[in-house]
Amino acid sequence: MRSSSAARRNQKLKRLKNRSVLLGVSGGVAAYKTADLVRRLKDDGASVTVMMTGAAQQFITPLSLQVASQNTVYTSIFQDPLTHISLPAQADIMLIAPATANIIAKFANGIADDILSTAFLAFQGPVVVAPSMNWKMYEHPVFQANLKRLLSLGIRQVGPESGPLACGEEGAGRLAEVAAIIDAVAAAMTEQDLAGKKVIVSAGPTREYLDPVRFISNRSSGKMGFSIARAALRRGAEVVLISGPTALKSPSGAVLRQVDTAAQMLRAVTEETEKGASVLIMAAAVADFRPAEQARTKMEKQRVRAIALDRTEDIITRIASRKKRPFIVGFAAETGPDLKRAMLKMQTKKMDMIVFNDVTEEGAGFETDTNSVVIIDRKGKVRTGLRSKDEIADAILDRYLKIKTRLYFPILLKN
């Protein structure tokens, strides 16, 4: 039998649990990607009901989307009378992917001549559109005016991305990645409690070079930092993600700065915090040591006996010593349960919060999708237990917001 912690480890955070997504598919060449989109929305816990335009059915069959969604697919307002009113009434969110130039023009002008455009007018909740078309169509001022009108009404846009298009041309018009579309749906359904805040997150390892080929590094995968960046974006923050080398895809909407060495990480964090930030979350495993000397060419192995190391500069100490500094969250990866070293580290480095991480605990630490941490600040501790890194990310941001609200409370009273 599988242990409960192993079961927990395999449990993905279902951001759309008990949410009902009304997915409108219009007739773009990217419509074939919606079978995967439906499957991934369901993986995230959503129930999905699909509506299709006539043109969409030229690109993918209703049967495919019926199988993917395990639900009836609606293709006409006359198929089942009044569904253009009842489907929107039952939905939490409406997502249009791909959204053609035509459907966006109809939405912007209140035209209701098929199931999708009619249901749009009858829907009162959040709407996300994922435009996809040829780049000339996308850049056309008439299309841009229609899109702008929708955005001014609070409708959210995800994508398009730039790159090679189905027509053989290149430019802005590719349907956003499925993961980015789902992130946008989750964000549209999440309280925007970090709106107006700038969050800087560092993630991943650094590499300290011995020569142009060899380096010293560590086991950090970057997953914890990337989860924090995604959670902050979902909650409405402006996010700068400063990352060492990882195999992860940058969350859409984040400004990504890729670095290699601890010195580059220090420079990027300094530059970004100087521009102003609400909070700096240092989830990166920055190397403590670097080779005292770096060979310009590959060293001959016979000649290497020992490697002399120098300490790297401590990034948090440097940022914390500045007069104008953000709220600083550090991480302490330890190989045992004792919190003392982490607490001391928080005090000596003048952090506002530290996330203690016993990397020897099952399911915690490097490379895993789960973690188990203790969030320590000046007022107390929060033990998270074994949870997904996405959930831990939210717990860290929750605690930050709680402290910030408490700190500002007396100031608000004074005014």
Ligand X SMILES: Cc1cc2nc3c(=O)[nH]c(=O)nc-3n(C[C@H](O)[C@H](O)[C@H](O)COP(=O)(O)O)c2cc1C
Which residue, 138 or 400, is less far from ligand X as judged by CB? 138
CB of 137 to ligand X, least distance (A): 6
Amino acid at 413: L
382 forms bridges with which residues in the sheet?
A: 375
Angle between helices 115-122 and 101-109 (to 10 degrees): 40
Chain centre distance of CA 289: 31
Is 167 catalytic? The answer is: yes
CB of 163 to ligand X, least distance (A): 14
Q: Site residues (CB under 6 A) for ligand X?
A: 26-30, 53, 55-56, 100-103, 132-133, 137
Which residue, 103 or 396, is less far from ligand X as judged by CB? 103
CB of 101 to ligand X, least distance (A): 4
Which residue, 170 or 338, is less far from ligand X as judged by CB? 170
Catalytic residue among 111, 137, 167, 210: 167
CB of 167 to ligand X, least distance (A): 8
Which residue, 53 or 357, is less far from ligand X as judged by CB? 53
Say if CB 33 and CB 25 are below 8 A apart.
no
Q: Are strands 238-243 and 215-216 parallel, antiparallel or unpaired?
A: unpaired
**Alpha-carbon separation of residue 302 from 214, 306, 355 (angstroms):** 15, 11, 43
Which residue, 29 or 284, is less far from ligand X as judged by CB? 29
Say if CB 289 and CB 310 are below 8 A apart.
yes
Of 396, 295, 383, the C-alpha closest to 339 is: 383
Helix or strand holding residue 381 (H, E): strand 381-383
Which residue, 137 or 179, is less far from ligand X as judged by CB? 137
CB of 85 to ligand X, least distance (A): 20
Say if CB 280 and CB 326 are below 8 A apart.
yes
Say if CB 252 and CB 232 are below 8 A apart.
no
- Sign of the CA dihedral running 225, 230, 234, 239: positive
- Sign of the CA dihedral running 391, 396, 402, 404: negative
Chain centre distance of CA 181: 11
CB of 268 to ligand X, least distance (A): 37
Please report where in the chains the tokens 């946008």 appear, as a residue.
Answer: 184
Q: Which residues are catalytic?
A: 167
